[in-house]
Every structure is written in C-alpha cells, then in structure tokens.
Structure 1
Amino acid sequence: MAALVVLLGLMVMPSGALAADAGTTGATGERGGQGGGRSAQDVVDAMQPGWNLGNTFDAIGADETAWGNPRVTRELLRNIRAQGFRSIRIPVTWGQHQGPAPDYTIDPATLERVREVVGWALDEGLYVLINMHHDSWQWVSGMPARHDEVLDRYTAAWTQIAGAFRDSSRRLLFESINEPFFDGSSGDAQNAALMHELNAAFHAVVRGSGGRNATRLLVLPTLHTSADQARLDELAATLAELDDPRLVATVHFYGFWPFSVNVAGHTRFDETTRQDLTDVFDRVHETFTARGVPVIIGEYGLLGFDRSTDTVQQGEKLKFFEFLGNYARAKRLTTMLWDNGQHFGRTTFEWSDPSLYRQIRSSWRVASGTASSDQIFVRRGGSPSDATLTLNPNGNRLWSVRHGHRWLVHGRDYTLDGDRLTVFAATLERLTAAREYGTNAVLTLRFSRGVPWEVKVISHDTPVVADAAGTTGGLVIPAAFHGDRLATMEAVYADGSGNAGPHGWTSYKEFGAAFAPDYDAGEITLPAAFFDEVRDGSTVLLTFHFWSGDTVEYTLTRSGTTVTGTAG
C-alpha cells in the first residue's frame, strides 16, 4: 500500500477521453454532445456547480417523502438548472428496498422511480451523480464482523444498479458509497483495506457490466469522505492500483467544525476558519487534481444548518461561502451544495435565503467584496459615534455606498481610508431617527465586481432577561432582545470548578444545541441536552454574548430535576 502511494507521487494519472455518444436525449442518450470526447477533468469541470437532492431518495422510510420533502417533479429539476446548477447529486439509500439473500433484489418500483428522476434530470441538461447513501451506516459499516455478507449484498446492489443504467447517458456518474466507515475494525490498516476492497469491487462490477458503464466516470470516496492526508493517501493508492483514467475522487467539506456549529466562541469567519478551508482544499488539490485525478466536493455547507441556518450569523456565513466558492474555483474543485430541503423550495422554487444564494452563485465566477461585519449597532437612547468597518475588496474597488436609491456622499456621509470605511455619526443619527428596535436602514456597498455587501444599521439597547423556573427537561428564559441578537453563551460553575454543560472543554456552548434564542417569542431556551451535563446541586453562571458587544449575566441553580434561573 505504501509503495503505491509513493508511486502516485511520481506519476501523472492519465486523463483519457470519453468516446462520443450517439442516441436520443434522456436516460439512454446524450444531449448536445456533453460527455463525448472529453477528459474526466473536463467533464468534472463542466459539472460545476452542483446541487444535492438531499433527504429524498436517501430518506429512511417507505418512500422519498419519508423525511418531509415532496415527491420530486421534473419542474423542480428544471428550476434547479435555471438557478445555474449544472449537475445534481441524487443520494439513494438502497438497502431498505432490497430483498433477502442471496439475491438481495432491489424493489423494481424503487429502481424505476430513480430511473425516472435521473432521466428527467438528464433531459434538463444536468449531469447526474447517483450513489449508495445511508447504507453506509445501516449495514455496510458492519463489514469487519460480517465481511462476506456485506460484500455480497454490496456487489448485488451495484450489479443491479449498473445493469439498470448500463446504457444511460455518460452524463450520469456513479459514486460507490457515501461517508463510509467500519464499526469494530482493528484500526487504520483494516479500515484502509476494507475501503479499498469496497471501491475495487464497485469498480469491477460497474466496468464488467459493459455498455456505457465500461467508460462511465466513477466516483470513489475516502474513508469518511475525509480530507485528512492519511485518508487521501489511502484513496490515492487505490486509484493507482486501479489505473483507470475515468475515476474521480470525492470528499465532503463542512468547514472548521467549531465555526460550522458555532461552539467554543468561534462565531466569526476568522483566520483560523479560513486557514482550515485552504489547508483542506490545498491537500485535495495536491493529492489528486494536480496529478490528473478530478475531484468533486460531493457535499458542502455548514453543519449548524442541520438545526437552523441562523446558527452562524448571516454576514459570517456569507463570507464563508464567498471564500469557499472562490478557492474551490482556484483549485479546480467541483462543489455540490448539500440541500435537504431547507435552502431551495421544492414546490415554491424560491430560496429561503436569497442573499446566501446570490453570494454562492457569484463565487462561481468572480470574487465579491465583503467587510468585517454586516452590522452597525447604534444605541437607541444615546448619540451614535462614527462606525468603522474593514473592507475586504477581494481585488475589487468600492464604487458606491447607498441607502435605498440614495447615494451616500464621500466626505459628507462617510469616508474611505485604504480599506477602512467609516460611516459618520451624523449619518447614523439620520438613518436611525425612527429609533425602532432592530434594523432601521440597510447600506449597500457596491464593488466593481460581484454582489454588493449589505450592512444593517441596527438600533438597540442592552437585552434584558427575566427570572424563570423549569426542570432539567428544559428551561425557557423570557428575554427582551431590544433589537440585538445572541452570538453565543458561556456556562461555568459558580464555585470555579470548571465549565458547565456539554463540551466541557470550553465555556462557550454550542448554538442551537445547548441554547437557542427565539426572537419572535422573546425567549431563550436551555434544552434537556444542556442540563444532562450539569451537576445536581450546582450553581451555574451564564453569560449571554450579543452581537452589539453587550453581555448579560444569568444564574442557574439545579436541585434534582428542578431548575431556577435568576437575572443579574
């Protein structure tokens, strides 16, 4: 294995060329010659950008609606193409639709439904990637203890999938398995061996099925779809051994974990988070892309999105996606946005966060200017001071600062000194004249390229929390947010014995998991998951940190299952 890794470091993987396809459009043919006469890298380039049809055919349950998404329509796929996406990843959990050994027959209706949706997507001009998804943790993970059974079932599934799509357009790609891992293995060496065995078996089954599968692009993951160098090297060894120019590597990327879920005080897209991203993409590029193996980032996003897209503050979120898109483009990595139904409406065909979509879409082509924040706070009861933001022009020039249709005047309303934009106190006084809590005005910073950067001018006062009583099953704290928003929460024991609550290695708790604000209801909830890791009989000091910079103290006392909270 080690020798193969060294070998890959000295070689350039052949790029190959896909033979021209003839035939009709849809599941059995090509459209516009896509996929014909081009290298694997050219095809993967043409797939940028991509989108995931998440929580649909991968959902655990009777059918594609089991996790709350509607049945897929061709209109949805047409609208995905209209949004600028050029490829779609369709995760499928096959095992729940398989019969018993020895044939492990896939339910024909399920297979035909997947074929129907794949055909629609191809007819809409999309590249399509289908895979084996939650099977990874449902039964494939048991391979160390049930090796032959798992391998037989896996090869039976791919034999049937490959047969069903044998003559489909070459714009259809197969991915061997999603986020694979192995329970009860003896360690890294066995994990690597089993991962190689799965990928090699997948390769042999698909290539052996003939037809267009003989030259179809096949996508192979690392263990866990991790971008750790050891995992990349293991996949590189497999690729070198298979010696097939029509193979693609895949990893997933959800960002620097503390930022991605908002824990340990990592509330900002700072240098640490940026460096984590560049390190990952550099490793993937150097291990694969630079050596002739195309790479698909099969899923990307933020893990905090699983709870709420507000887990990471809007401006910090936009900076993350702006940087990710541009750096992926620089490293020639194709990205596929993970969407479980929370981003693009499956029936409304509208984005839940249009600003996020605009930032992502812009990053596919150009770098957009951003700033140190998208918020300026003005205290409601006092006179404002000048407010300064640090711009990150990303190679662009600031053209204008506007409030609605009105252009602010340089020297009168604001000044620009290098990359420091200062909005004058008198301007802020005028913009917040209504003195209503929350956003009073939005400033639009327009740069020479890319999407504008919007800055909210917010009128606020220090939030106020009230006494509360509840149980370890959950405590609801009444809160008057006064225009401010919660950034993070600290929890420590009053006796100085350490940090309280989950993730005891940090005083800063996980947003949405250990605490969650509800601005409309005027409350902050501490769920059972927080109290599960708070000692009985203890007193806990909470500090709520708000985006304005204000902090509010709160005291919790736990006695058995009873919890009381005191403000101040």
Structure 2
Amino acid sequence: MQSRTPPPLIPLLTPLLTALTALAILLGLAVAAPTAHAAEDRRPPAVASAQSTVAAMQPGWNLGNTLDSTGSDETSWGNPRVTRELLRSIRAQGFNSVRIPVTWSQHQGAAPSYSIDPAYLARVREVVDWALAEGLYVLINVHHDSWQWVMNLPTQHDAVLARFTATWTQIANTFRGSSDRLLFESINEPFFEGSSGDAQNAQLLHELNTTFHGVVRRSGGNNASRILVLPTLRTNADQARLDELTATFTALNDPNLVATVHFYGFWPFSVNVAGYTRFDAETQQDLVNTFDRVHNAFTARGIPVIVGEYGLLGFDRHTGVIEQGEKLKFFEFLGNYARSRQLTTMLWDNGQHFNRTTLQWNDPSLFRQIRSSWTTASSTAATDQIFVRRGQTPAAATIALNLNGNTLSSLHHGSTQLVRGTDYTVSGDRLTITGPTLARLTASGAYGVNAVLSARFSRGVPWDLNVITYAPPTVRAASGTTNGLTIPTAFNGDQLATMEAVYSDGGFAGPHNWTSYKEFGAAFSPNYSGGEITLPAAFFAEVRDNSTVTLTFHFWSGTTVRYTLTRSGSTVTGTPA
C-alpha cells in the first residue's frame, strides 16, 4: 500500500514544481521522471479508482469502422448500424469494456463555433448509453480527426486548437452527467505535419492533452473526476514517447489519468514481409520489450495503462495474411504477457472478427485462443500443420510443444481418443504422431486437410493439428501487363507462406527492395479456390523495365517453386523456371 500522506513541505512545493515542469515541457526541455518516493508522496487516494477501473475494464473490444467512419453515416465503411443487441452480445462474449472510436469532423459546422450536428451527437449518446446499460465500461474519443485536421497544429496552431477545444467542450457538456464508467480519450494516434521534430511534437501533444484535460475538468458534473485517457505520440511505445507522456502526467498531477498505447506486433511479422512468417523468438521478444517498457513507465508507478488497440496489421487486408497457427501463438502470448504486466487490452475489430449481422465470430478458433489468454496460459505447438505427401508412406511426425506449465492429457480425432503408445507418443515437450496413424488418417488421398487432431492439456484450450495431404504445387506460363499478372497454380493441398523476387543480377525486385521476401497480400496473393497466384500493379510498379525476375514461392510443406518473369514495357510474361 502506497503512502497517502505527503510530508509537510510537499503541499507548498507542489504548485511551483508543477508549473516549472509544465514550462520545461513547453520549452522542449527534458524533464526527469519523478522518483518512486516522490510519485507516492504526491499521489492522492483517488488513484486507486483509476487503477481499479482500468483493471475492471479488462478485456475490452473496439467498435471499429463504425462511428469513426469518415463518410456521412456509420454504415459507410461497410458495417451495419449499431444495435443494443450487438453490445449485449459483446458483453456476453466476456468483454467488460468497449472502445467506441468517433470521428467528428464531417458532422461539424464552420468556425468559430464548430458546432457538432445535434442528431449525430444524440446518436453517439444513444450508443454510449446502450453500452453502459449493458454493464460495459465505455471509452470514447476524437478519432480520425487526428489525420483530417488535428495534424495541422504546427502550421495552423490557433485554428486547430480552437476547433479541438470546441469539439471537446461539446462532448464534455453532453456527457457531464454520464456514469463514471464512461472514459474520455483525448485523441487517437496523434501526429503532426510540418513540425520541426521530436521536441516540437512533444510540446504540441502536451498542449493538446492539457487542453483536453482542462476543458473536461472545467465542464463539471461527473467530468470533474472522470477518468481521462492520454496517448503517446502515434500511441507508440518507444521509450522517448513514453518519457514525453510521463512528463505530461507529472505536470497535470491528476490521479484520474490513464496512459494508452497501441500494439500491432513486430512489424515484419505483423504484415508477413521479409520472411517473418512465424511467431519466432525475435517477434516474441519485441512484444516482451514493448510491454515491459510500458509497464516500467506507468503501471509499475501506479499509472494504469490501456492498450487501446491490438491485433495484426496484415488483418487490414485479410486475416489469412498470417498462417493460422502462428496467429494463434501471437494472440495467446500477447494476452498472457499483457496480463502479467497489468495492461488492459482492447481488441481492434473493424467488423472482420465479430460478425455484426450474425453476431457470431468469423474465426471461432481465434476467439477461443484470445478468450483463454485472459485467464489461462494455454499450451501451443511449433506448428498446427502435419504434411503427408500423397502416394508416399508417411513417416512419423514430431511436433515441439510449448506446454506453458501444462501437461498433455489426451489426443483426439473428432470424438475418438487416440491411443498413447500406439497412435502417438510423448517425450518431454515432444509429441510424435506415428506413421501408421498418419497413413490411416490420410487414406482417402484427398488433397488438403484430411483430419484435425485435438491435443488436450491439463488446462487451457486444445491445440488443433491439421493433417494435410499434399503434392508439390505446380505453376504454368502466363502473360499479362504491369497492371497485374495471374499465374495459374495447382496448389495440390499446400498453402503459400511467402514469395521471393530477385533480379538476374542478384538485386531485390519489387516493393520493399531491402529484402527479397515480399509482403503477403500486398505484392502477391494466393487464391486457393481459383487456383491462381496474383501479382498486382503495386508489385510491378517497383520492377525495372526490360528486366528478368526470378520468383521463388515458399510453401508451408517446405516445397519451393521457382518462376521466371520478364518485363518489357507494360508487357509481362512468366514461365516456370
């Protein structure tokens, strides 16, 4: 328990120290973080409510691509109108909080009042009230306004600050009587164009956050003590960004403040580029380092943290950009490690995860893993795929298990429990499926998944192993233009992991020319049902004219297939190598 009674001199010095700290920030000077003792001495009892509130918000979910759309209506980005039934369903899935991103700019009038359309403000109020009535904590913000007009603060300072002030004045007045389970977030992923660099960016964000804080607090009612959420620059968790926000917290000296960052994973893995197809040690360490920095900067000092958005950036194109098992391992580790660092997480969902029409999960296995991670360390494995080559007698397959302190209880194929010692063996963290068992499971010879084995453990959710029959994929000659090339492909039960592109002189071709491995879904895309691999215009936009490029397709079975591209003007031809 922290000390709640400051030494006699602290109340006298606090206003002076706060003023000096704020001045230093505004001048772009470095501000040292307070010592743990000083933070304890200055922190009044109300900080416990911020900590307990943020803890009670775990886990959280984002109502993305809806009220934050930049069109004229909440349906303009493809999602249906929000219903109370949707929010009730989210609560039933085990979520305790919902972040409702809101973009205001297209619903605002001109200067100087910047009046928000009363009908839109009422609609936001209606959705918020529904969520509160369903027992959810709610977080609302100023969202895509960040890149529509707020980013112009360096070059249009007075106008932007006036609009920001007017926006939050109207929001604050609308919700001043709302439950204290409603939180406000100043601005989503803030950044600035035309600034002189890091020092000015820090000063400008400090100004925005303190302006927001003052407007809300002065509006009175429940806003006088409402929990307010402040972001780092771009909601980034680099140490410099954390230090800047720490200085703002010190200057404001308000116990009802919460820090927020976003996390979308180690970038190459998150978008599947540069050969980072697996949730490997480097990708895991990036997550550990990020959450440790945030914990040390804030939660270890009694300042709660909300990871306001998390997911994988590749999901922006398609959830299949990352292979299923690697995806599950990422979310399993993230949920558990965030819990160990006392970070409240809010899943980013733009409609691709929870279907807002059917009110069902599009990928139940993914949500099963995410939900388990909130309370339990489930076991995973090095892979969720066992490949058996068609026409060959299968050898035994050994898979490394990440037991997470658990033990393997049983292995099932559907409702049938396999026999330990006959169908499979276990040695330490190694599970081996015998050759005869694999032969039996793939006896049909059909390409693709022939069986799903469920490894069940002493706690947590099962880990599924897909037994796949395959033959080496083949590709055929094709012709097209730099607007796109479609390569006829017989996948033969296999799946594409990544693609390399190299010029005949050894240089790297295509986008991201610092690596031979191209970005999945951006530089190439497989279509399994259509039997083709597509190279879009974005790939050829960065391929030299009059050049020859060797493509190497890497498949999850370990098979590689080479293909030769020749570009001449806008004409492109391809042949198997």
TM-score by length of 2: 0.94
The answer (yes or no) to whether the contact 1:4–1:241 under 8 Å persists in 2 is no
**Does residue 1:197 correspond to 2:224, yes or no?**
no
Specify the SS of the correspondent of 1:541: strand
**Does residue 1:511 correspond to 2:538, yes or no?**
no
Question: Which residue matches 1:11?
Answer: 38
Question: Which residue matches 2:447?
Answer: 437
Specify the SS of the correspondent of 1:11: helix
Q: Deviations over 1:493-532 (max 9, x none)?
A: 0132x10000000000000000000001110000000000
Question: Which residue matches 2:329?
Answer: 319
CA displacement at 1:6 relative to structure 2: 2.9
C-alpha distance in 1 between matches for 2:391 and 2:573: 32
**Does residue 1:471 correspond to 2:502, yes or no?**
no
**Does residue 1:393 correspond to 2:420, yes or no?**
no
Q: Which aligned pairs between 1:234-253 and structure 2 lie closer than 5 A?
A: 234-253=244-263
Question: Which residue matches 1:489?
Answer: 499
The answer (yes or no) to whether the contact 2:33–2:246 under 8 Å persists in 1 is no
**Does residue 1:543 correspond to 2:535, yes or no?**
no
Candidates 550, 560, 565, aligned match of 1:556: 565
CA displacement at 1:98 relative to structure 2: 0.9
Structure 2 CA distance for partners of 1:86 and 1:17, relative to 1, 3 Å: farther
Candidates 450, 459, 465, aligned match of 2:460: 450
Identify unmatched segments of 5+ residues in structure 1: 19-36
Specify the SS of the correspondent of 2:261: strand
Q: Which amino acid aligns with 2:295?
A: H
Specify the SS of the correspondent of 2:33: helix
Q: Deviations over 1:531-563 (max 9, x none)?
A: 000000000000000000000000000000000
Specify the SS of the correspondent of 2:183: strand
CA displacement at 1:347 relative to structure 2: 1.4
C-alpha distance in 2 between matches for 1:17 and 1:70: 43
Q: Deviations over 1:154-205 (max 9, x none)?
A: 0000000000000000000000000000001000000000000000000000
CA displacement at 1:124 relative to structure 2: 0.2
C-alpha distance in 1 between matches for 2:79 and 2:353: 12
Q: Deviations over 1:225-272 (max 9, x none)?
A: 000000000000000000000000000000000000000000000000
Question: Which residue matches 1:530?
Answer: 539
CA displacement at 1:90 relative to structure 2: 0.3
**Does residue 1:233 correspond to 2:260, yes or no?**
no
Structure 2 CA distance for partners of 1:124 and 1:466, relative to 1, 3 Å: same
Question: Which residue matches 1:27?
Answer: none
Question: Which residue matches 2:217?
Answer: 207
C-alpha distance in 1 between matches for 2:45 and 2:429: 47
Q: Which amino acid aligns with 2:511?
A: P
Question: Which residue matches 1:77?
Answer: 87
Q: Which aligned pairs between 1:124-523 and structure 2 lie closer than 5 A?
A: 124-496=134-506, 498-523=507-532
C-alpha distance in 2 between matches for 1:61 and 1:282: 38
CA displacement at 1:12 relative to structure 2: 3.0
Q: Deviations over 1:347-372 (max 9, x none)?
A: 10000100000000000000000000
Specify the SS of the correspondent of 2:480: strand
Specify the SS of the correspondent of 2:346: strand
Identify unmatched segments of 5+ residues in structure 2: 1-24
Question: Which residue matches 2:75?
Answer: 65
Specify the SS of the correspondent of 1:5: coil
Q: Which amino acid aligns with 1:84?
A: G
The answer (yes or no) to whether the contact 1:144–1:182 under 8 Å persists in 2 is yes
Q: Determine what percentage of the aligned residue pairs are the same residue.
A: 71
Q: Which amino acid aligns with 2:355?
A: G
CA displacement at 1:316 relative to structure 2: 0.2
Specify the SS of the correspondent of 1:6: coil
The answer (yes or no) to whether the contact 1:5–1:234 under 8 Å persists in 2 is no
C-alpha distance in 1 between matches for 2:59 and 2:34: 32
CA displacement at 1:5 relative to structure 2: 3.0
Specify the SS of the correspondent of 1:84: coil
Larger mean Cα displacement after TM superposition, 268-277 or 38-47: 38-47
**Does residue 1:123 correspond to 2:133, yes or no?**
yes
Specify the SS of the correspondent of 2:354: coil
C-alpha distance in 1 between matches for 2:480 and 2:44: 65
Q: Deviations over 1:473-500 (max 9, x none)?
A: 000001010000000000000132x100
C-alpha distance in 2 between matches for 1:45 and 1:549: 44
The answer (yes or no) to whether the contact 1:8–1:236 under 8 Å persists in 2 is no
Q: Which amino acid aligns with 1:527?
A: P
C-alpha distance in 2 between matches for 1:92 and 1:187: 28
C-alpha distance in 2 between matches for 1:286 and 1:12: 14
Specify the SS of the correspondent of 2:420: coil
Q: Which amino acid aligns with 2:38?
A: M
C-alpha distance in 2 between matches for 1:279 and 1:38: 27
CA displacement at 1:274 relative to structure 2: 0.3
**Does residue 1:55 correspond to 2:65, yes or no?**
yes
Question: Which residue matches 2:14?
Answer: none
Q: Which amino acid aligns with 2:294?
A: V
CA displacement at 1:9 relative to structure 2: 5.7
C-alpha distance in 2 between matches for 1:390 and 1:433: 25
C-alpha distance in 1 between matches for 2:474 and 2:272: 23
Structure 2 CA distance for partners of 1:351 and 1:15, relative to 1, 3 Å: farther
CA displacement at 1:407 relative to structure 2: 1.3
C-alpha distance in 2 between matches for 1:391 and 1:218: 42
Q: Which amino acid aligns with 2:34?
A: L
C-alpha distance in 1 between matches for 2:445 and 2:319: 28
Structure 2 CA distance for partners of 1:403 and 1:15, relative to 1, 3 Å: farther
C-alpha distance in 2 between matches for 1:5 and 1:148: 29
Structure 2 CA distance for partners of 1:451 and 1:522, relative to 1, 3 Å: same
C-alpha distance in 1 between matches for 2:187 and 2:287: 24
CA displacement at 1:96 relative to structure 2: 1.4
C-alpha distance in 2 between matches for 1:92 and 1:390: 45
Q: Deviations over 1:429-448 (max 9, x none)?
A: 11100110000001100001
The answer (yes or no) to whether the contact 2:500–2:516 under 8 Å persists in 1 is yes
Count of aligned residue pairs for this structure pair: 549
The answer (yes or no) to whether the contact 1:299–1:336 under 8 Å persists in 2 is yes
Larger mean Cα displacement after TM superposition, 254-263 or 487-496: 487-496
Q: Which amino acid aligns with 1:384?
A: P
The answer (yes or no) to whether the contact 2:33–2:243 under 8 Å persists in 1 is no
